[in-house]
DNA sequence: CTCAATTAGCGTCAGTATGACGATAAGCCG
DNA sequence: CGGCTTATCGTCATACTGACGCTAATTGAG
């Protein structure tokens, strides 16, 4: 089988928008670039697709390599692809961006490729022209995807630990949507929406005040009815 | 600037899931392949990304070239990317799939690349192992995207002509969702949802019975409240 | 030990949306 | 004209929503 050299070849990369809720704000995982171009700048983690690697596998590998996050606790889904002809000054590239949602993990620090890894507030990274390449656009799209999916999927639980209180889940919504929600109505909706959360026998007082029941994520793939902004 | 030949290159293609509602069912535009592999088989339209072409531009170009559809009346959005290492027997490829929604146009026939182009029922194309490559998976994802977006966006209007009746819009929902909807409740919801449809002065009797008012698509990017399945 | 502070979780109530379906309107066709 | 078809408006019981009052269960200060 010929290699059909008459069609242009492109370098395919995978970039990651890894979001978490930390210190009451939405944060994104950034790595300090160790190579040109943009050496020393904070950027989204990512890397080249390997010759016999599936896209999702590449994203999962990058997540491990560059962020050392425990993959089993991280939601990972494809976001979108970006291929403007001049998006990378080195050569023609197309990047397949993935969106990862993680709980507030202890301290995810640098892996092998990256000189350094750090959580940074999304707001900060989008304020100036911080991010190189088209990473600001990718980050914006990732945040918008997360905001939208919180409405009609139980994905907010991906920002929480294995068990969580309703208040913790509510804070996820409040941070991602940048609104405040009535705690009582939120509690009613979440517990009445079939398959969103599952009660556990435990309670916790880690948020102070009266002990709160702990829940774990339910199995419903979608929320019926949705939680509208 | 060096070409960094140490990273693997991939052939990037763009494939299209072009959907319409015809004869009371959801149909997809297929082309008969004129080249190997799978010569003579019906497949999704698509082609290679050109050296200095943006992804969206490539999708729009393919839509024109292969389907001769008037692009201004077609909604086009990125769907997802597919890059399993063996998805194309010739070489390593990654395809960026786009979803296009078109009204029931007169007769979109073959363009240059394709030996033939034809609308075919989605149900038929997904029933057996009709489609080559991973096109069945892509089509399934496209249909699922369309089904979901009908709930939260006014995208159903993309399946309609420039002006349409509420009943025509309702039939779009019924076909895409494969349900029946109460005509009176649907009328109430659509006309009360801000920015979904805009009344025009005209009416039509093309559906028989009492003349129906014609509407055109509104400007709202999302439906508030959504139309739930 | 008591009390204030804090957070959880239940209850109420009015306004609104929803689904089921009746009734009327306004064309067409024979 | 009378019947057929489809459009559109109306009704009504029920469900959901948002605003907000109230009680429960813990912690920590004094």
Residue range(s) in chain B whose domain bears CATH number 1.10.10.10: 153-217
| CA to C1' distance (Å), from A187 to D23 | 16
The values of phi and psi at residue A206, to 5°, are -65, -20
Strand partners, B216: B163, B198
Return positions of chain C under 7 A from a protein CB: 5-11, 17-23, 25-28
On chain A, the residues whose CB falls within 8 A of the CB of B1 are: 89-91
Q: Which residues contact A165 (CB under 8 A, 6 or more apart)?
A: A204, A207, A212, A213, A214, A215
Nearest to A151 by CA among A41, A226, A71, A45: A226
Any atom of strand D under 7 A from CB of B206? no
pLDDT tens for A93-133 read 999 999 999 999 765 555 545 458 999 999 999 998 889 99
Say how many C-beta atoms besides its own lie within 10 A of residue B101's C-beta. 27
Residues touching nucleic chain C (CB < 7 Å): A 165-167, 183-185, 187-188, 191, 203, 207-213; B 182, 184-185, 188-189, 205, 208-211, 225, 228
Q: In CATH, what is the architecture of A153-217? A: Orthogonal Bundle (1.10)
DSSP conformational letter for A50? P
Q: What is the pTM of this model?
A: 0.94
On chain B, the residues whose CB falls within 8 A of the CB of A1 are: 89-91
Any atom of strand D under 7 A from CB of B183? yes
Residue range(s) in chain B whose domain bears CATH number 3.90.79.10: 4-149
- CATH fold, domain A4-149, is Nucleoside Triphosphate Pyrophosphohydrolase (3.90.79)
The values of phi and psi at residue B84, to 5°, are -55, 140
Residues of chain A with a CB closer than 8 angstroms to some CB in chain B: 1-4, 7-12, 48-55, 78, 80-85, 89-92, 94, 96, 148, 151-152, 224-226, 228
pLDDT tens for B169-216 read 999 999 999 999 999 999 999 999 999 999 999 999 998 899 999 999
ipTM of predicted assembly, 2 dp = 0.92
Q: Dump the DSSP string for B175-211.
A: HHHTS---HHHHHHHHHHSTTTEEEEEEEE-TTSSS-
pLDDT tens for B141-178 read 999 999 999 999 999 999 999 999 999 999 999 999 99
């Amino acid at each position: 089988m010929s290699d059909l050299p008459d069609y242009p070849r492109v370098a395919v990369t995978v970039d990651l928008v890894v979001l978490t809720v930390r210190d009451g704000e939405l944060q994104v995982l950034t790595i300090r670039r160790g190579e040109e171009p943009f050496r020393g700048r904070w950027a989204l983690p990512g890397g080249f697709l390997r010759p016999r690697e599936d896209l999702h596998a590449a994203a999962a590998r990058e997540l491990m390599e560059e962020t050392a996050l425990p993959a089993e606790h991280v939601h990972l889904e494809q976001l979108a692809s970006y291929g403007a002809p001049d998006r990378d000054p080195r050569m023609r590239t197309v990047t397949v961006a993935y969106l990862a949602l993680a709980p507030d993990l202890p301290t995810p620090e640098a892996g092998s490729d990256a000189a350094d890894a750090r959580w940074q507030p999304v707001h900060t990274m989008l304020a100036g022209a911080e991010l190189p390449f088209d990473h600001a656009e990718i980050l914006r799209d990732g945040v918008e995807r997360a905001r939208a999916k919180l409405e009609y999927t139980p994905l907010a639980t991906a920002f929480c630990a294995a068990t969580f209180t309703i208040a913790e889940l509510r804070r996820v919504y409040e941070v991602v949507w940048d609104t405040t929600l009535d705690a009582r109505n939120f509690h009613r909706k979440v517990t009445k929406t079939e398959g969103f959360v599952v009660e556990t026998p435990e309670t916790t007082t880690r948020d102070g005040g009266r002990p709160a029941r702990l829940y774990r994520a339910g199995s419903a793939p979608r929320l019926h009815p949705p939680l509208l902004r």
